[in-house]
Amino acid sequence: MKLSSRMAKFRGKRKVLEQVKIEGIAAEGKCIARVNDEVLFVEGVAPGDVVDVLITRKKKNFMEGKPLTFHEYSKDRVKPFCQHFGICGGCKWQHIPYDIQLKYKHQQVIDNLERIGKIPLPEVSPILGSSKIKYYRNKLEYTFSNWKWLTQDEIATGEELDRRGLGFHVPGSFDKILDIETCYHQPDPSNEIRLSVRKYCLENDVPFFDLKRRTGNVRNLIIRNSSLDQWMVIVQFAMEHEKNMGLMEHIKTSFPHIHSLQYVINDKGNETFHDLEVKLYSGEAHITEAMEDVQFRVGPKSFYQTNAAQAYELYKIARDYAGLKGDEVVYDLYTGTGTIANFIAKDAKKVIGLEYVEAAIEDAKLNSEINGVTNTEFYAGDMRELLNDDFMSNHDRPDVIITDPPRAGMHEDVIEMLLKIEAEKIVYVSCNPATQARDLALLDVKYTVKKVQPVDMFPQTHHVENVVLLERK
């Protein structure tokens, strides 16, 4: 939409663009419009909306803004189902119908591969949507705060309100927590557990943590579950305190269904606890996840895909693309806790998993052991240092490589090594099509992209996974 100069006004020192028509969805879930030949990115809107936009950032080639007034709503809008929509940082696409979410995610993959990769591509397969668009996560982390975020309605009351809350960080404010009533990410009894914990702490004056001042005690609540309906609850305390065990006993007696109840004493400046001891209060130290005939032990520090049902679909695609006949050596790069490695092991001669995190490798070995898998090997180390000429001279060369790197993609040194190894196939699983496209362009020297399959792991968000099959030229 072209915008005449008279439609640009100022409120204080800030510029407002009036009656901007939103055209589409861009990277990172922001929507896009063009104003006087300038690109404008806007959050919290939908394609087809006509809005007044407050400019929050101005760069040479683009602007960013947030909506102030809606003049017209898109015909494709739907009413968000969550009362916290627009304040909470999650589920930012609730106002967009799921079929349209999938359309934009599918196009996002194509745009990245074409614009960044600039390589020959086959037809991109239709995106695989999630069977669940609510209650699909198996892990949530809530934070306690004695300085909770107040909504406009709460401020308008003019009352002195209790500022203790348990919920999610408000985007852009590290120490402010939005107190959550109902979250649609995880099935029950997740909400029941959180509300019960909050009520107990309020009624018994358990001191909520203040991240800025480093005072208070109860600081974090983690709830995990598995497809076998096993539940794990972990409470983080800042210190040993006389009221800690009262809360733990309350959780145990209120929710006897909990399979694993644990706690951590964490006096650090952040909520990470990979380097801290996790103490078992009741039950077992892990829960169990299952995928076909393979089981995985999930401990308090273990990584497991947060949408387990859709992870199964993702891994089936990776297995199908690998096309294993039983006599292949497979390298599983960034193997994590060995989920893919153990999932495909029965179809391969040998699977070698490589991963940076040592604790994850120990989990991977354990997962092989409990499933009676004897044809896997796992090694820990920085990928660019671990996968080198010396490693290759001491191990079987791979026929197939499966790689599932973090969002940053693969380091150039790793890609150079893959080009040197010259495996017949590479199956590239990615949670970031932009960095995947960059890497595919580098691999294009020796590999051709044969198949592309987008997968939606996170409905109501802009995130999308993508699986690519490459074959040696």
Q: List residues with catalytic annotation.
A: 431
Q: Is 286 helix (H, G, I), strand (E, B) or coil?
A: coil
Residue 55 has phi, psi (to 5 degrees) of -75, 120
Give Cα separations from 444 to 389, 419, 426, 439 (angstroms): 22, 9, 12, 9
Residue 420 has phi, psi (to 5 degrees) of -75, -40
Give Cα separations from 306 to 45, 208, 328 (angstroms): 27, 27, 30
CA–CA–CA angle 446, 452, 456 (5° rounding): 140
State the pairing for strand pair 425-430/24-25.
unpaired
Angle between helices 190-203 and 244-254 (to 10 degrees): 140
Under a CB-based contact definition with an 8 Å cutoff, are residues 21 and 1 in contact? Answer: yes
Distance between CA atoms of 430 and 123, rounded to whole angstroms? 18
Q: Which residues contact 247 (CB under 8 A, 6 or more apart)?
A: 197, 200, 201, 204, 206, 218, 235
Distance of CA 452 to the CA centre of its chain: 21
